[in-house]
Structure 1
Amino acid sequence: MCEDWDIDCNKITCVVTDHGANMVAAVKAEFGESKHLPCFAHTINLIATKSVPLYKEGYGARVEPVIEEEEEILLEEQEETHFLELDAQAEISAELSMIRIIKKMKTVIKFFKASEVASRLLREYQMQDGTKEGCCLALILDVRTRWNSITLMIERFLLMTRFISQVLLAMPKGPTMLSGGEILILREVCSVLKPLMSVMMEMSGEQYVTCSKVIPIVRMLKLSYTSLNPECMEAVSLKANILFYLDKYFKNVEKMKLLAMSTFLDPRFKKLHFESALAASNAVSWTSDIVKEQIRRVSQEKSAEEQTYPVTSAGTTGTDIWSFHDSLVADNMKKYVPENTGGLPTEVKMYLNTPESPRLQNPFEVWEGIKEQHPEMYKVATKYLSLSATSVPSERLFSRAGQLVTRLRNRLSGPHIDMLLFLQSVDENVWFS
């Protein structure tokens, strides 16, 4: 692809992929491990699907195989922490109970999907309650490959519980409705899953910065779930699963150079959300090294300009009254010494001494306002803040391509598809401006 588009591989800062082994291996082989970034949204979805045991084939696959020996001790400690609230037998019992309740709910949903009479009655009861025709809601059935589908399915079912009960009462041959206790369990399970869904929705945007949010959001998720106190055993088990997988998949998130630098260069966060002081120090050090290199390059350019600078020796009489000033500037250039290479550049020090910006403020706008004081650091910030933390934009592109190339339009050529997809991507403000 780089050859087709004539892209210099050295100019590529980051490549975001899902967790497919072939994609990860290809990126690491071509660009190096330091330039690979796993999709944050895929990882959060993986945590959600593994925490809800609906799709699990058994209970022995809690920990991924092929673990390095030096991680075994850490993993054992994590497992001990994971089972503090519940012993193994109680957790398995809670997971089995959750599976039974969710499957019972799915049986009801499938009945409505298959029965035209039940679907019609569901719409009629909603309209009798004041819902306008065309605005009636339908039940959602989860799809394993669709993000947040389990949470959305449970949320919609709980929203329509009253109407579902009315329909099932009018149809004695229908499936058994969930009991009050089971509905309460679903409410708690849904409340435990919602933070993951809200994070995934926030991180799937394309018009704002996402890469710098990864480290803060991971920390906020851990704190949020630690403070969460569900009552039923099923929700407690789910919470323990989520905390376990959060710690497993994000235990080294602060050590990733791209994420650490992006977070540090975001004026809203800086070093605020680094749990490890060493990781925060590394982020500052990596940034400082790049800034120093840019300052060194600028000083070399100034030295080159010095050789061609028009100089008149001091004290020379002539018609140019600025000759003495020019000679002083030339002398200062000779005495110019770049910043101390052993410490932090002045720009970085000034940046660290300023307070964090408001969370809802655009970091690019903040940097536009301070770029006069931080000219070299501004260049680094615009480079690393523009990185995307997810592969959602490409996923959306594939979805649009699938909607465009249908059985009725299967004769579209490749170049025409490219042009149509490009026209779809143009903002409405550009079209009508």
Structure 2
Amino acid sequence: MKSFLGVTAHFGIDIELHSVTLGVYELDERHTSDYLSEILLKVCQDWKIDLENVTIVVTDNAANIVKAIELAFGKRKHIPCFAHTLNLVAEGTMICTEWRNIVSKVKSIVTWFKQSCIASDELHKATAAAMETPAGVKLIQSVDTRWNSIYYMMQRFLELRSLLNDILFRHPRAPAMLSASEIATVTSVIVVLRPLEAATKEISGDKYCTSSKIMPLVRCMLSKITSAVIEDPVAKEVQKLAINELNKRMGSIEHVTALAVACILDPRFKKMHFNDAIACSKAVAKIKGLMMKKNLQTNEEIESDSDKSDKNEEAFSLWTDHHKLVHHNWKINKSENVLSDELSVYLRTPVGRLNENPLEIWRDYKIQFPKLYKIAFKYLTIVDTSVPSERLFSQAGLVMTEQRNRLKGKRLNKLLFLHSIEKNIGIYKEKNVLAL
């Protein structure tokens, strides 16, 4: 069985987010971190991507790929895929034996309907008549690697339970229907897991800002799950497990610098969703440091030109270096005050509406906050899931058809790249995030 590594690049142009396929690379050696890091560096080299221009690399939580990113790009440039982490949270709730058994029962019922043409036809007729839709409604089968498929399977099962019960009753060899208490458990667990499903759906896009939403989503998920009033004992255990998993895997999310900076620089959130004052102050300090760095670079360019013209005009003085230090110190203090004022004024502006595009808001802020604008654009264009690179394998299936079954890897990658280019974009100038 062959293994592949999918790589996509994500970046912003004006107020829009864009992505492009860099390729699907066959892995013909053991998947060690050293080997994977070599592949990634080769990808950047082939596409002439300067490593300094890569803001963040997003991958799943597998130890080998995480280590590979650290070797190739540095530890600070890695962020685990938020959707994959949510998947691990949901998997953690399956520790509850009673809930796992109920899921297995529902899965066996769904499998039976999928495998029995007679039962499937009966369900189709029953749903078409009950819901007045000619196509009817089908059961959903869960997929082990996608926790939300379990959620959708259970949700659809609840919707059709009365019809399913009638059909199962007519077939002696059919799996047993869930008991009333088990149905009550499923109903309550759906309430517990709904925030996880909503968050997964919220951050699975790559055409809108997601990095700044991670902290608010984690806080809102915990609040919803914790405040849910659950009476069923099995569902209560699932609720407890979900809270513990969220705290274990995302309890320190505020200390992930890139996500904290993105949250503060999103006009819809700013500092509202910080629980840890130290994490908030560190993120603010990081923003100030980035502003100072950009400002000093600009000043040094101006000074280098002026120093050349003044060099010959200076009279000899033993205190020349002292005067330069005084002048430099005065400029730094002045710059710090100006930059600090820019950030303070931004933080005092009214919070934007949740349905607004933060990049559109920043387009209006560009003149008022010129230094912050560049930093905001850099961090808000981070895509915090590896979902786009996973979709890449579906695209590869469309490109690698039976009529093209002799395509070599290099040619396939070129076709995938061309397939991914949006028609309204001519030239890509900036690469911001790699998703693996």
- Counterpart code for 2:255: K
Structure 2: give runs of 5+ residues left out of the alignment.
1-42, 310-326, 427-436
Deviations 1:179-220 (A, max 9, x none): 222212111111211111110011011110001111111111
CA shift for structure 1 position 427: 4.7
- CA distance in 1 between counterparts of 2:200 and 2:257 reads 22
C-alpha distance 335-202 of structure 1, shift in aligned 2 (>3 A)? closer
- CA distance in 1 between counterparts of 2:156 and 2:423 reads 32
- CA distance in 1 between counterparts of 2:146 and 2:250 reads 22
Q: Any residues of structure 2 matched to 1:318-337 within 5 Å, and which?
A: 337=331
Q: Pick one of 367, 379, 382 that aligns with 1:384.
A: 379
User: Where has structure 1 moved over 6 Å in runs of 4 or more?
Assistant: 333-336, 428-431
Partner of 2:13: none
Conservation of the 8 A alpha-carbon contact between 2:215 and 2:260: yes
Partner of 2:133: 132
CA shift for structure 1 position 7: 1.7
Partner of 2:111: 110
Deviations 1:115-165 (A, max 9, x none): 1110011111122225333x2222122121124111011011111112212
C-alpha distance 108-428 of structure 1, shift in aligned 2 (>3 A)? farther
Partner of 2:55: 13
Deviations 1:219-246 (A, max 9, x none): 1111111111111011100010010011
Greater share of strand: 2
- Counterpart code for 1:364: L
Partner of 1:196: 196
C-alpha distance 428-123 of structure 1, shift in aligned 2 (>3 A)? farther
Partner of 1:347: 342
Conservation of the 8 A alpha-carbon contact between 1:40 and 1:390: yes
Conservation of the 8 A alpha-carbon contact between 1:15 and 1:35: yes
Partner of 1:36: 78
- Counterpart code for 1:386: T
> What secondary structure, in the 3-state scheme, does the structure 1 residue paired with 2:58 have?
strand
Conservation of the 8 A alpha-carbon contact between 2:168 and 2:174: yes
RMSD of equivalent CA atoms: 2.5
> What secondary structure, in the 3-state scheme, does the structure 2 residue paired with 1:412 have?
coil
Partner of 1:187: 187
CA shift for structure 1 position 281: 0.5
CA shift for structure 1 position 106: 1.9
- Is 1:162 paired with 2:204? no
CA shift for structure 1 position 385: 0.8
- CA distance in 2 between counterparts of 1:247 and 1:367 reads 32
- CA distance in 1 between counterparts of 2:278 and 2:206 reads 31
- Counterpart code for 1:111: W
- Is 1:375 paired with 2:417? no
> What secondary structure, in the 3-state scheme, does the structure 1 residue paired with 2:46 have?
coil
Partner of 1:401: 396
- Is 1:144 paired with 2:136? no
CA shift for structure 1 position 379: 0.7
- CA distance in 1 between counterparts of 2:328 and 2:306 reads 8
- CA distance in 2 between counterparts of 1:26 and 1:19 reads 12
- Counterpart code for 2:384: A
Q: Which shifted more, 24-33 or 293-302?
A: 293-302
**TM-score, length basis structure 1:** 0.79
C-alpha distance 423-3 of structure 1, shift in aligned 2 (>3 A)? closer
Conservation of the 8 A alpha-carbon contact between 1:339 and 1:345: no
- Is 1:411 paired with 2:406? yes
- Counterpart code for 1:127: A
Partner of 1:362: 357
Structure 1: give runs of 5+ residues left out of the alignment.
54-94, 310-332
C-alpha distance 365-13 of structure 1, shift in aligned 2 (>3 A)? same
- Counterpart code for 2:331: V
- Counterpart code for 2:66: V
Conservation of the 8 A alpha-carbon contact between 1:291 and 1:345: no
Q: How many residues align?
A: 366
> What secondary structure, in the 3-state scheme, does the structure 2 residue paired with 1:15 have?
strand
- Counterpart code for 1:337: K
CA shift for structure 1 position 30: 1.7
- Is 1:177 paired with 2:177? yes
- CA distance in 1 between counterparts of 2:132 and 2:204 reads 31
- CA distance in 2 between counterparts of 1:396 and 1:341 reads 46
Partner of 1:266: 266
> What secondary structure, in the 3-state scheme, does the structure 2 residue paired with 1:275 have?
coil
Q: Percent identity?
A: 38
C-alpha distance 110-341 of structure 1, shift in aligned 2 (>3 A)? same
Conservation of the 8 A alpha-carbon contact between 2:191 and 2:228: no
Partner of 1:322: none
Between structure 1 and structure 2, the one with the greater Rg is 1
- CA distance in 1 between counterparts of 2:109 and 2:214 reads 38
> What secondary structure, in the 3-state scheme, does the structure 2 residue paired with 1:301 have?
helix
- CA distance in 2 between counterparts of 1:96 and 1:254 reads 33
CA shift for structure 1 position 32: 1.2
